[in-house]
Structure formats: C-alpha cells, structure tokens
Amino acid sequence: MIKVTHVAQNPTDWKSLHFRAAKPGSIVGCDFAGEVVEIGEEVIGYRKGDRVVGCVPGGIPYELGMRGAYSEYVVQQASLVFRYPSTISPESASTIPLACITAVLGLFHEMHLPLPPSNCQISILIWSGSTSVGQYAIQLAKASGCFVITTASIHQHTYLKQLGADVCFDYKDPNVIEKINQITENNLLYAFDCISTKETIKQVCSTLTNQNSQVATILPIPSNEIPSHIKEHFILMYSIYGYEINAFRKVFPAKPQDKEFAENFYKLLSTTLLPQGFVKPNRVTKISGGLNGVEEGFKRMMDNKISAEKIVYTIDETTKPTNLKINSNL
C-alpha cells in the first residue's frame, strides 16, 4: 500500500468524467507519487518509507476493488511501481509513469527500436512533441540514438531541442510536410502521432513514404485512414495492468507481454535512465488546494490552456471532500 503525496493530471482523467466512462462511486486519476506504508508478504526489494511512483487505472468500478490515484492511498503491484532519484522531486516524478510508458510501448515494444542507451541512428518523427507523451518520446528516442524530428508551436522549439529534438517544425506551417519530407529525403520509416486525430494522422502518414513504414498512435484510428504501406500500432497503456480492458466501446484482451515489458522498462528507468539523466520529468504546474483544485485543473486542460507542462496536485493540501460529478459543467 502506498500513501499518495502527489498526483499528476492526464487527459484520460477529465475525459473519463466528461464522457461518462467513470462509473458513479469510482475514483479517477492514474499517475501518483507516494511512500510505501504496507508491503505484501511476497514482495521483495521494497521497504516502508520508500519513495515510489506508478500509475493505476482510474475510473474503475468500486466493486472491482481498485481505486484511482486521486485518493489518500493506492494499492499497486510492486512490479508496476519504481523508485526515483533523490534529485527529482515527488511533484516532478509523478508526471513520469503513464506518459512515459505510453511512449515506451510505442517506440520499443511495438516499433522495436533498440532500447536505450543505444546508437541506432534511425530517423523518427514525433508529431506534437510538446505533449506529455511527446516529451518523453523525444527523450527516449534520442537516448536510443535516433535523429529526432518533431512538431510544435514555435515558442516550444527551444525547450524541445533541450530535450533532444534535432529538428523542430511549426505544426501550423502550411509547408511542414514538405519540409519534413525534404529533411528525411522521402524515406521516413517511423513516426509517433502524440495527438492521433483524423487531421494529425493524415499529416503524419504524408511523411511516411517508405513502403515499410510504422506509426504509433494514442487513439484508435479507422483503418481506412491509414495507407496500406503503413503499419499502425495503437497504444493503450492500460494494457500494462495485465487484464482485459473495456475502452472506446471495445473490449481489448489482456496482454501479459505488455505488462512484462513495462515491468522491465520501469527497472531500466529507475536504475539507469533517470539517474543518468537520459530522461527528465515533464515541467510541472502546481494547482493549490490539493484535490479541491481538480475542477480548475480539468477546465484548464479542456480549454487547451496547458502546453508543455503537467498539472500536479499535492494531496495534503486537500481541505474538504471532493466529489466530481459526472454530469458536471466542466
């Protein structure tokens, strides 16, 4: 059992309420940082007081015995949490698990780029690099030795280059596809669409001219939107929990291989990639009041007022019970 100290907000948190995916009585929230307070009999390698981060499936029906991260305590398998260096604050650490493992599954588990640190010298396009997933994808691809091309608003280019992007393009530039194709010499094999709308996937596919191209997406894309020469990998990070998932009006079977991959990569993060600086957490915007500030945070995200940062709440700042209504006016 983990006493939650901080939670980071993800789009899935407000969407599970807004689109009525979260059932009444369930608790939303996925990313958390906290301290171990109880340990199962079969758990080895952890002790009480350890600082850990992880993610849980928010919005799951209460009767299934799981609670989301927006709470005082969570229970998660020891293999799906990890320690982080003392040089990283718990606020910052809480931004890592969900977005980072989404990037990891796309880059390394599905598209089979070499695990970092490596020197693969492969070009990859990270579309919308200023998103949380995009920031981790840039860093991880760079640590793998890729030549990283990304798109974002112009004012984010300096920051994304600091994370490891080799080239940044303005996604609003009417010639952005032509410029990407020019720099890749019309031979791009890999892309990660960190938005995954009908518009963005069309743009991304326009850059993938190689006959064996692959693209990772974070939302399901109709098959008729993907050209036949491109292999799509839809990344639903909930697969790391190892059980059947009901999402997007579909049932996704359990994927034990995803869980095993995530468990091993969390170890790599904890022992190598975070301590050696290959991966840095997202920038943090704190909203005061703990969980009493969640409604404000959800509204900011729904109004697209969050850019290249992640909202984080400090649980101890919560002063009164918080009930987010599914039919709220967010």
Q: What is the pLDDT of residues 200-247, one digit of tens each?
A: 999 999 999 988 999 999 999 998 999 999 999 999 998 998 887 776
Contact 188, 213 (CB under 8 A): yes
Domain 99-239 has CATH 3.40.50.970: no
The answer to whether residue 328 scores a pLDDT higher than 50 is: no
Q: Mean pLDDT, the chain, as a whole number?
A: 91
Q: What is the pLDDT of residues 139-173, one digit of tens each?
A: 999 999 999 999 999 999 999 999 999 999 999 99
Residue bearing the bigger pLDDT, 134 or 12 = 134
Q: What is the pLDDT of residues 70-120, one digit of tens each?
A: 999 999 999 999 999 999 999 999 999 999 999 999 999 999 999 999 999
Q: What is the pLDDT of residues 5-61, one digit of tens each?
A: 999 999 988 887 776 777 777 788 999 999 999 998 888 889 999 999 999 988 776
End-to-end CA, the chain: 32
pTM: 0.93
Which of helix, strand or coil describes residue 197?
A: coil
Residues 189, 48: Cα–Cα separation, whole Å: 46
What amino acid occupies position 321?
Answer: P
**Rounded to the nearest 10 degrees, how much is the dihedral formed by the CA atoms of 38, 39, 40, 45?**
170
Q: For 232, phi and psi rounded to 5 degrees?
A: -95, 140
Residue bearing the bigger pLDDT, 24 or 175 = 175
**Domain coordinates in residue numbering, the chain:** 2-96+281-317, 99-239
Residue 65: predicted pLDDT: 62
Across 215-253, b (16+ Cβ under 10 Å) vs e yields bbbbeebeeeebeeebebbbbbbbbbbbeebeeeeeebe
Topology annotation, domain 2-96+281-317: Quinone Oxidoreductase; Chain A, domain 1 (3.90.180)
Which of helix, strand or coil describes residue 3?
A: strand
